[in-house]
C-alpha cells in the first residue's frame, strides 16, 4: 500500500489551493441580458471573502474594483442599536396585533396624510441598521457562495454616481418587516449599469427593490425571487404590499425571469419616465395588483405568467403594451428585434394595454430575448443557491 506524506507546508498549500478554487468558482456566473448588458462589476479583481461586517462595509463602499464573496450570513441586526420613537398605526392596519404593519414616521409619512384618515400615533421600536442600506461603490461584484451568502438586517444602496455593480446569488432579509419604512432591500438612485441576478429578498419593511427619483439608468433584474410572505402585512393578509418601485428619471429597467410571489401590490409600480421591459416573469398569488403604471411609465410586458393574481394591471396613466394578441404583437419586431410573446393567465384578472407609440425608445438599446411563457422554468430557476 502506498502512502502520501504531506509536510506542513504542502498541507497549507493544499488548503489554500482549495480555498482559492472555491473562491474562483464563486465568481460571477453568466452575463446580464437587457439594459445592463455591459455591466462587469469588479471585472478581473481577485475574489475575496470579508472577515466581518465592518470589513464588508468598508469593501463595499471604497473606490477599489472588487469581487466580494459572501460565504456566510452577515448579520447587521443590533450593530447600530435600536430606536424608540413616535410612529403610527396607519389606516391600512385593520388587524393590529394580528398580522398588520405599523409605520415609522420616515419623511413625515405619519403626519403628512399618507398614513390615511383614522391613523393614530403609537410608539415604535426598530433596529436602526435596517433603515439605511450599505453604501456600494462603483465596480463591485457581490456574490454569494452556494446558498450561504445572506445579508440580515441591512440592504444595499447604489447611489450618488456609483455604477457598474453586479449583485448575484445572495439573500437579503429581516429589515424591520413589522414596520412600513423599516428598510429597503436594494436601492438604486443616481447610478448606471446595475445587474441583480439570482438573489432572494424576503421580510422587508418597505421596498424589495427601489429605483429612486434620480436617474438609475441601465438596470437588469433577472432570475430573482421576491418572496412577499410575511407575518406583518400592510393589507392584513400575510402578503407584502411594498414590492418593486420604479419611478426614476430616465431609467431603463429590464425585468426577466423573476419569481414574484405572495405580494399584494406594487409588483412593480412604475412612473417617472421609466422604460421597462418585463419579460418572462412569474407573478404568483397576489391578492392586490401586480403592475401599477403611473404617469410617465412606459412598459412592454411579454411572456409573463400571472397565476392567482387578482389585478395584473391596476392603472395605466402612462403607456403600457401588454402583448394582447399574436397579430398585435408583431409590432414589437421593429423596436425590440422580436415579435412579443403572449402572456399567460391562470385564475387571474386581465392585463390589457395596447399602447405602442413609445416603442421607438427601445431602438438601439440592448434588449433581452423573450420565450414562450412557462411557469415551471421561471419558478424553478429563480432565487439564490441555484447557480
Residue 276 has pLDDT above 50, yes or no: yes
In a domain, residue 152? The reply is yes
DSSP 47: E
State the average pLDDT over residues 169-181: 98
Distance between the two ends of the chain, CA-based, in angstroms? 40
CA nearest neighbour of 156 among 171, 146, 139: 171
In a domain, residue 81? The reply is no
Higher-confidence position of 80 and 1: 80
Residue 8 has pLDDT above 50, yes or no: no
In a domain, residue 30? The reply is no
In a domain, residue 287? The reply is yes
**Structural contact between residues 243 and 263, judged by C-beta atoms closer than 8 angstroms:** yes
Catalytically active residues are 266
State the average pLDDT over residues 142-163: 98
Q: Rounded to whole angstroms, how far apart are CA atoms 158 and 219?
A: 11
- Domain interval for residue 230: 88-381
Q: Rounded to whole angstroms, how far apart are CA atoms 188 and 153?
A: 18
pLDDT tens, residue by residue, 124-142: 999 999 999 999 999 999 9
State the average pLDDT over residues 338-359: 98
Three-class SS state of 168: strand
Residue 352 has pLDDT above 90, yes or no: yes
pLDDT of residue 212: 83
In a domain, residue 315? The reply is yes
State the average pLDDT over residues 195-208: 98
In a domain, residue 36? The reply is no
pLDDT of residue 10: 42
Backbone angles phi, psi at 310, to 5 degrees: -60, -50
pLDDT of residue 214: 87
Q: Rounded to whole angstroms, how far apart are CA atoms 10 and 165?
A: 37
**Average pLDDT along the chain:** 94
Strand partners, 173: 152, 202
pLDDT tens, residue by residue, 331-346: 999 999 999 999 999 9
Residue 314 has pLDDT above 90, yes or no: yes
State the average pLDDT over residues 29-34: 98
Strand ranges, E, within 224-267: 225-227, 244-246, 252-256, 259-261
In a domain, residue 56? The reply is no
pLDDT tens, residue by residue, 57-75: 999 999 999 999 999 999 9
**Structural contact between residues 374 and 278, judged by C-beta atoms closer than 8 angstroms:** no
pLDDT of residue 208: 98
Cell of 59: 469593501
What is the DSSP track for 135-155? E--SSEEEEE-TT--EEES--
What is the DSSP track for 101-132? -EE--GGGTTTSSTT-TT-EEEEEEEEGGGGS
pLDDT of residue 26: 66
State the average pLDDT over residues 321-330: 98
pLDDT of residue 213: 87
Residue 4 has pLDDT above 90, yes or no: no
Domains in the chain, number:
1
Strand partners, 211: 188, 246
Residue 9: pLDDT band with limits 50, 70, 90? very low
Domain of 235, CATH number, reads 2.160.20.10
Q: Rounded to whole angstroms, how far apart are CA atoms 130 and 133?
A: 7
In a domain, residue 54? The reply is no
State the average pLDDT over residues 207-229: 96
pLDDT of residue 23: 42
For the full predicted model, state whether its pTM sits above 0.75. Answer: yes
Cell of 244: 418593486
Amino acid at each position: 500500500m502506498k502512502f502520501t506524506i504531506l509536510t506542513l507546508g504542502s498541507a497549507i498549500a493544499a488548503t489554500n489551493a482549495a480555498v482559492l478554487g472555491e473562491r474562483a468558482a464563486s465568481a460571477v456566473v453568466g452575463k446580464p441580458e437587457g439594459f445592463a448588458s455591459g455591466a462587469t462589476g469588479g471585472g478581473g479583481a481577485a475574489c475575496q471573502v470579508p472577515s466581518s461586517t465592518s470589513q464588508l462595509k468598508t469593501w463595499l463602499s471604497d473606490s477599489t474594483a472588487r469581487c466580494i464573496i459572501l460565504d456566510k450570513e452577515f448579520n447587521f441586526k443590533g450593530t447600530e442599536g435600536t430606536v424608540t420613537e413616535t410612529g403610527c398605526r396607519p389606516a391600512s392596519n385593520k388587524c393590529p396585533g394580528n398580522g398588520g404593519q405599523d409605520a415609522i414616521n420616515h419623511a413625515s409619512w405619519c403626519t403628512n396624510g399618507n398614513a390615511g384618515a383614522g391613523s393614530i400615533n403609537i410608539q415604535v421600536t426598530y433596529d436602526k441598521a435596517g433603515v439605511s442600506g450599505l453604501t456600494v461603490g462603483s465596480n463591485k461584484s457581490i456574490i454569494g457562495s452556494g446558498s450561504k451568502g445572506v445579508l440580515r438586517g441591512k440592504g444595499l444602496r447604489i447611489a450618488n454616481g456609483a455604477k457598474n455593480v453586479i449583485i448575484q446569488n445572495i439573500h437579503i432579509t429581516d429589515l424591520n418587516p413589522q414596520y412600513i419604512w423599516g428598510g429597503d432591500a436594494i436601492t438604486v438612485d443616481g447610478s448606471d449599469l446595475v445587474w441583480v441576478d439570482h438573489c432572494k429578498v424576503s421580510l422587508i419593511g418597505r421596498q424589495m427593490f427601489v429605483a429612486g427619483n434620480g436617474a438609475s439608468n441601465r438596470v437588469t433584474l433577472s432570475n430573482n425571487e421576491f418572496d412577499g410572505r410575511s407575518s406583518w402585512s400592510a393589507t392584513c393578509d400575510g402578503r407584502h404590499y411594498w414590492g418593486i418601485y420604479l419611478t426614476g428619471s430616465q431609467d431603463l429597467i429590464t425585468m426577466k425571469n423573476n419569481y414574484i410571489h405572495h405580494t399584494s401590490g406594487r409588483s412593480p409600480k412604475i412612473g417617472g419616465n421609466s422604460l421597462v421591459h418585463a419579460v418572462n416573469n412569474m407573478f404568483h398569488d397576489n391578492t392586490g395588483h401586480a403592475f401599477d403604471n403611473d404617469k410617465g411609465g412606459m412598459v412592454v410586458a411579454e411572456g409573463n405568467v400571472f397565476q392567482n393574481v387578482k389585478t395584473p394591471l391596476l392603472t395605466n396613466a402612462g403607456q403600457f403594451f401588454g402583448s394582447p394578441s399574436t397579430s398585435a404583437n408583431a409590432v414589437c419586431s421593429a423596436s425590440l428585434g422580436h415579435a412579443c410573446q403572449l402572456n399567460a393567465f391562470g385564475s387571474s384578472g386581465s392585463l390589457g394595454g395596447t399602447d405602442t407609440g413609445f416603442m421607438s425608445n427601445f431602438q438601439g438599446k440592448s434588449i433581452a430575448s423573450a420565450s414562450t411563457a412557462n411557469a415551471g422554468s421561471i419558478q424553478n430557476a429563480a432565487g439564490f443557491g441555484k447557480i
